[in-house]
Amino acid sequence: MKLKKIFGLAATAALSLGLLAACSSSSSTTTESSADTTTVKVGIMTRNAYTTEVWDKVTELAAAEGVTVELTEFTDYSQPNKALAEGDVDVNAFQHIYFLNNWNTENGGDLQVAGYTLYSPIRFYSGVEGGKDKYTSIEDIPEGAEIAVPNDATNESRALFLLESAGLIELDVADGELATLSHITSNPKNITITELDASQTVRSLESVDGAVINNNYAQEAGLDTSKALYIEQKGADTEVWYNVIAAQNGWEESDKADAIKTLIAAYNTDEVAEIIERASNQTDFAIWDEVSAE
């Protein structure tokens, strides 16, 4: 099969997840390599059934092109970038651009975006009453409604930009700055925005008119994502949430450059895109074609 050639995507900054795990450990999964193959060590977070299917397909496609993929799993989000910076892995694939950018700033790093993987848009759900959704469209949100949003900086910013995109509020935020409640300049329906720990937004649905909920918590709670009243829209305000494959600065001149490009091409295939959408129950979407078209 022919792999898509989507290379040279070294973006100027990087990306960050909102909720960080606490404990750290790693385990390695290695595919046997021969003298005719090059091994690329990839740092990822602990796999589940969904991500295992993705990486099994990537490993298979890369192997067909002479590249052996060796996965190192982490349980602590603080570790994969450190491992990459120290050369323990060749690339990692676990974060969005904001997380990478923030990590570089806080750690004096210069890790780069080498390729793109997926986009996981957050969603706005109706409040619940008597076991049924209160509303069936974003236009139904009433005057004086109460809406719950995550209270951590990155996810709250995403939630507020989502509410702006949905037409419920207006913001005045400088480019590259995270949105806060203080940036709201217009609130025509006099909505009360309640800040909660992201893990509590699902539980709030019975006491609020709506909530912006991260996909992992929505899936854990068994919410039907197809019934979300509004989905975060792709655009200038959401590019920082695109997930990426990161590499060291100057990776394109390294002896692993061709192998890393092959890995990215293996990931950026229709086969992997289909797995991402299906296995995530359509909560995640392949993003590389979107980026290459810009």
Domain over 26-120+238-292 is classified CATH 3.40.190.10: yes
Distance CA 40, CA 23 (A): 26
Buried b (16+ CB within 10 A) or exposed e, 81-108: bbbbbeeebbbbbbbbbbbbbbbbeeee
pLDDT the model gives residue 229: 97
Q: What's the confidence (pLDDT) of residue 36?
A: 66
Alpha carbon distance 60, 46 (integer Å) = 19
- Please, what are the averages of pLDDT over each run of 10 residues along the chain (294 residues)? 39 34 40 65 95 97 98 94 98 95 95 97 96 96 98 93 96 90 98 96 97 90 92 84 97 98 98 96 91 71
Contacts of 237 by beta carbon, 8 Å cutoff, 6+ apart: 161, 165
Q: What distance in Å separates the CA atoms of residue 200 and residue 213, rounded to the nearest whole number?
A: 9
Which residue carries 């995109």 as its tokens? 165
Residue 238 has a pLDDT of 85
Cβ pair 216, 142 in contact under 8 A: no
User: What's the pLDDT at 15?
Assistant: 36
**Domain-by-domain residue ranges, the chain?**
26-120+238-292, 123-231
- How much is the pLDDT for 205? 98
The answer for residues whose C-beta is within 8 angstroms of residue 165's C-beta and 6 or more apart is 230, 232, 233, 235, 237
211, 148 Cβ separation under 8 angstroms: yes
The Cα-based distances of 204 to 109, 156, 191, 194, 210 in angstroms read 39, 16, 16, 10, 8
Classify domain 123-231 by CATH number: 3.40.190.10
